[in-house]
Amino acid sequence: MINEGRLVKLFKDLCLIDAPSLQEANSVAFVRKHLEGMGLEVSEDNASEQIGGNANNLIAWLRGNKSDAPRIFLSAHFDTVEPTAGLVIGDRDGAFFSDSDTILGADDKGGMAPAIEAIQALIETDEPHGDVCLLFSVSEEIGLLGAAALKIEDLGLDFGYVLDTGPPVGSFVNKTATHDKLDIKIIGKPAHSGKDPEKGINAIQVAAAAINGMCLGRIGPETTANLGIIEGGTATNVVCPFVKIKAEARSTSIPELDKQVDHMIARFEAAAREWHTEVEIQHKRHYVSYEVSPESDVVQIAQRASRTLGFDPILRTTLGGSDANIYNQKGVPCIVVATGMDMIHTHDEFISRKDLIDTARLAYQLIIEAAKSQSP
């Protein structure tokens, strides 16, 4: 059924194509040619025009041989969180690592390769199945931009599975957080730091006053907040005239999130008043949480598939986002499927050969189990 050698080769081939966000064209071209060679109906949308990248989302169909089966999708994303040019893939202790000064890129080639292999195995076995769509998005890592541009609501899909989180394989994410972003600019007043510093207002001191006492880190069981980037100033002999801060907050509870964001904004505004200066704050709701019922078809089918393969089909909550946040928001139910990618977004990222294979087995079984149910 699952061709392990073919799967591993595809995974490595995908990882070796440099595909940072907004620059996925080579990877998209490779995958498109591969899927067309499998006999799938392949098309692209116009995401590149909307997001300013060089590549579009890829949409590929395997038409079903069972007319009353649900129309489902398997999804993954092309882009990596940073470039992988010069990647050397190491293979030791039953796992794949980066043996170079780059990430591996198992996020999300560890989801994409198993999804493709599952379709190839389905073609070869010809088991009963409904229409299956592969949705491979671009620029997921910088704000789910490809998914936001994709008109998934026009594809006539019943539900689907996004292969894009870490182990244990066989588990699923059915609940995630809402994610807000804050861009803050504190306006100071420049002055010569040696001649007349008292004529200036140091924006760094204003920022310090705001941050002192601000609730950050783990706010509650399912609420977090962070100041991630701070920059400013022009020279050491100039009283700092501005500071820019990029911040975020996440929570599965929108009231809790709103409370945290209001707190952060209030701290910056209070500090600006104290120092008789101004602060500019841009607040954006980055993506909205979802919670898919354990009793829903998409979850029940997933758990049956997992049990069939001997996995533990636990349901998980995460504060991380994925394309599933966008697809659920657009009205197409989906959950996130765990893959073997681990230590993601670091140069220690790895994926075990066993987990890679098991993810492909699970992706195949998801299609088989879905075909046993009636289309909604």
Model confidence over 230-241: pLDDT tens digits?
999 999 999 999
Catalytic one of 24, 45, 79, 355: 79
The partner residues of 102 in beta bridges, in order of sequence, read: none
Those residues whose C-beta lies under 8 Å from the C-beta of residue 227, and which sit 6 or more positions away, are 211, 214, 216, 245, 246, 247
pLDDT surpasses 70 at 77: yes
Fold of 4-176+289-371: Aminopeptidase (3.40.630)
Residue 107 appears among annotated catalytic residues: no
Write down the pLDDT at residue 233. Answer: 95
pLDDT surpasses 90 at 348: yes
Comparing C-alpha atoms, which of 233, 228, 262 is closest to residue 245?
228
pLDDT tens string 185-209: 999 999 999 999 999 999 999 999 9
Whole-number percent of the chain with pLDDT over 90: 93
pLDDT surpasses 70 at 11: yes
Mean pLDDT, the chain, rounded, equals 95
Write down the pLDDT at residue 297. Answer: 96
Give the pLDDT band of residue 319 (cuts 50, 70, 90). confident
Write down the pLDDT at residue 309. Answer: 97
Please tell me the distance from the alpha carbon of residue 282 to that of residue 166, in angstroms, as a whole number: 32
Catalytic one of 24, 117, 131, 140: 140
Residue 79 appears among annotated catalytic residues: yes
Among 18-32, 130-144, 362-376, which is the least confidently predicted range? 362-376
- Give mean pLDDT, residues 51-69: 95
pLDDT surpasses 90 at 34: yes
Write down the pLDDT at residue 67. Answer: 87
Write down the pLDDT at residue 375. Answer: 64
Whole-number percent of the chain with pLDDT over 70: 99
pLDDT surpasses 70 at 175: yes
Give the pLDDT band of residue 286 (cuts 50, 70, 90). confident
pLDDT tens string 82-135: 999 999 999 999 999 999 999 999 999 999 999 999 999 999 998 999 999 999
Listed by start position, the domains of the chain span 4-176+289-371, 178-287
Write down the pLDDT at residue 126. Answer: 82
Instruction: Name the CATH architecture for the domain at 178-287.
Output: 2-Layer Sandwich (3.30)
Is residue 19 within 8 Å of 29, Cβ to Cβ?
no
pLDDT tens string 242-262: 999 999 999 999 999 999 999
Tell whether the torsion through CA atoms of 101, 106, 112 and 117 is positive or negative.
positive
Write down the pLDDT at residue 376. Answer: 63
Please tell me the distance from the alpha carbon of residue 357 to that of residue 34, in angstroms, as a whole number: 19
Write down the pLDDT at residue 9. Answer: 97
Residue 168: asked if its preceding bond is cis (omega within 30°), the reply is: yes
Residue 108: asked if its preceding bond is cis (omega within 30°), the reply is: yes
- Which tokens is 364 given? 């195949």
Give the pLDDT band of residue 320 (cuts 50, 70, 90). confident
Is residue 356 within 8 Å of 169, Cβ to Cβ?
no
Q: Residue 299 to residues 96, 167, 304: CA-CA distances in angstroms?
A: 30, 17, 9
